[in-house]
């Protein structure tokens, strides 16, 4: 077993709440607007020791499926980390002061600092490049232990990469000062986009946004933001995209699949197809949804979309009647078909579990309503927390929701076999069945 820790970035204060040791080695703990977080590399089991600067009684480590049972000690806690992954350490149920422990597998094929086409940011330092615009084939590489205060834009640039084990920090743009700021990562009309390994922190807007892109790979990315409207990943008018092994703590949708009309978001009105979101940990604070299709659906077709092997550790109460864990909000004209949700565990959902709607909303622009059909939920488990209501509601007779299968929905181990057992309202829908 080996552990790689990163140098502390010079000029960055450590978290006042936590200190961390992994395998006996100290790991720098960052602090941001709503959490503390620590990053390191690991290729096997390790003992984790956390020193806590405030009194507490109970500790929970999520996702619960890992079965991590922390031992509370005087002034801290300890637990065993079996493999790389992302964990949320929560004390006394306080959701405003968690510690995220992010163990990544060993990095492969890091570029050389002087490689052609590479914008290299070395560890142990803070860098302030501002907005970086990438040309085709270029790479931004942020080494572990580096904090980069900036944003990345690529337009019509194929084969661009943003990767590393460091931090891309958006806190330099302050909404309190009236600075809306850019999206931290924005790719417009690109092919073969790769984003890997980084922590994207305190984005003032949507965080990672491919628009009209074909071939998108987002792997091992960690996102924290507490700005309302701070989505995690927004795939807008994209095809052939995968989001996997990521960790989200957002103040809006963790992952959203959308389509905008031309002129609104450049080429974001293209049809959407072949999207995969898998092996991610999701925490959606207020507002928004856990994993979402919509509301903006301004294209003809959105098809072949799958959400697989997810842990939704928190989907907090939104209060505006639109929030949910697994949601499709078809607010425009698109035909949304062939959507699959499989092997998903929900630990704490406080508003709705499933929310499928054809509707006119404040985000709608098309006069014509769309449709939703052929949606399959399989092996969905509410493992803890509340048993939320669900809603399936079409628009009118010509814009129904059709062919929804709910297979092996369980709530704390109980198999749910009907809409009434599921606390589900079904209106303007056809062929909704439980198995």
Give the pLDDT confidence score for residue 346 in this predicted structure: 98
- For residue 291, give the nearest of 343, 332, 334, 239 by alpha carbon: 343
**Residue 143 belongs to a domain:** no
CA nearest neighbour of 38 among 14, 63, 59 = 14
∠ at Cα 36 (35, 39), nearest 5°? 130
pLDDT confidence of residue 243? 98
Global confidence as pTM: 0.96
Q: What integer pLDDT is reported at residue 318 of this predicted model?
A: 79
Q: Does any domain span residue 152?
A: no
Cα distances (angstroms) measured from residue 188 to each of 209, 218, 365: 8, 15, 21
In a domain, 380, yes or no: yes
Q: Look at residue 20 in the predicted model and tell me its pLDDT.
A: 98
Output the pLDDT for position 185.
97
Q: Which of 58, 75, 104 is the last residue of a domain?
A: 104
Structure tokens at 172: 């330099």
As given in the structure block, the two tokens for residue 336 are 């949304």
Compute the CA torsion angle 415, 418, 424, 425 (nearest 10 deg): 180
Boundary-marking domain end, from 45, 72, 104 = 104
Does 136 reside within a domain? no
CA dist., res. 170 & res. 70, Å (int): 33
Pair 215, 75 in one domain? no
Return the pLDDT at 9: 95
Domain boundary among 50, 81, 104: 104
Provide the pLDDT for residue 227.
Answer: 85
Residue 339: inside a domain:
yes
Which pLDDT value is given to residue 63? 98
Q: What is the pLDDT of residue 267?
A: 55
pLDDT at 228: 82
Mark whether 213 and 88 lie in a shared domain. no
CA distance 226 to 248: 11
DSSP 387-398: --EEEEE-SSTT
- Please check whether residue 369 lies inside any domain of the structure: yes
Give the chain's domain count: 2
* 167 occurs within a structural domain: no
Which residues of the chain register pLDDT less than 50? none
For residues 98 and 235, state if they share a domain.
Answer: no
CATH of the domain at 304: 2.160.20.10
**Same domain for 398 and 272:** yes
Tell me the CATH number at 19: 2.60.350.10
Residue 163 lies in a domain: no
Q: Please confirm whether the linkage preceding 85 is cis (ω < 30° from 0).
A: no
Residue range(s) defining the domain that contains residue 370: 206-434
- Measured CA distances, 8 to 81, 83, 137 (Å): 22, 23, 30
């Amino acid at each position: 077993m080996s552990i790689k820790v990163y140098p502390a970035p010079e000029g960055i204060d450590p978290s006042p709440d936590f200190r961390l040791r992994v395998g006996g080695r100290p790991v720098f703990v960052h602090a941001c607007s709503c959490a503390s977080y620590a990053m390191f590399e690991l290729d096997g089991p390790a003992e984790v020791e956390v020193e806590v600067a405030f009194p507490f009684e109970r500790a929970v480590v999520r996702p619960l499926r890992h079965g991590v049972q922390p031992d509370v000690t005087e002034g801290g806690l300890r637990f065993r980390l079996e493999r790389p992954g992302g964990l949320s350490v929560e004390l006394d149920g306080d959701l405003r002061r968690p510690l995220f422990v992010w163990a990544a597998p060993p990095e492969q094929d890091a570029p050389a600092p002087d490689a052609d086409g590479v914008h290299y940011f070395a560890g142990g330092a803070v860098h302030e490049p501002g907005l970086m615009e990438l040309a085709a084939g270029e790479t931004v590489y942020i080494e572990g232990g580096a904090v980069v205060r900036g944003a990345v834009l690529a337009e019509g640039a194929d084969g661009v990469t943003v990767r590393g084990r460091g931090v891309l920090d958006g806190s330099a743009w302050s909404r309190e000062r009236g600075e809306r700021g850019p999206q931290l990562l924005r790719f417009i009309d690109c092919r073969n986009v790769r984003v890997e390994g980084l922590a994207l922190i305190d984005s003032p807007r949507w965080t990672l946004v491919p628009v009209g892109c074909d071939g998108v790979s987002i792997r091992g990315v960690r996102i924290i933001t507490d700005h309302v409207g701070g989505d995690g990943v927004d795939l807008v008018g994209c095809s052939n995209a995968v989001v996997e092994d990521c960790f989200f703590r957002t103040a809006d949708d963790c992952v959203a699949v959308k389509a905008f009309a031309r002129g609104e978001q450049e080429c974001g009105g293209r049809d959407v197809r072949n999207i995969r979101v898998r092996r991610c940990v999701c925490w959606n604070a207020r507002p928004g949804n856990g994993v979402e299709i919509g509301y903006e659906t301004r294209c003809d077709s959105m098809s072949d979309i799958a959400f697989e092997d997810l842990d939704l550790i928190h989907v907090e109460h939104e209060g505006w009647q639109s929030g949910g864990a697994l949601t499709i909000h078809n607010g425009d004209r698109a035909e949304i078909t062939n959507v699959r949700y499989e092997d998903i565990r929900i630990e704490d959902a406080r508003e709705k579990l499933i929310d499928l709607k054809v509707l006119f909303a404040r985000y709608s622009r098309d006069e014509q309503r769309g449709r939703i059909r052929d949606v399959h939920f399989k092996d969905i488990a509410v493992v803890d927390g509340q048993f939320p209501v669900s809603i399936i509601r079409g628009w009118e007779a010509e814009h129904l929701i059709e062919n929804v299968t709910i297979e092996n929905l369980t709530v704390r181990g109980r198999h749910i076999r009907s809409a009434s057992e599921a606390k589900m309202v079904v209106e303007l829908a056809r062929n909704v069945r439980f198995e």
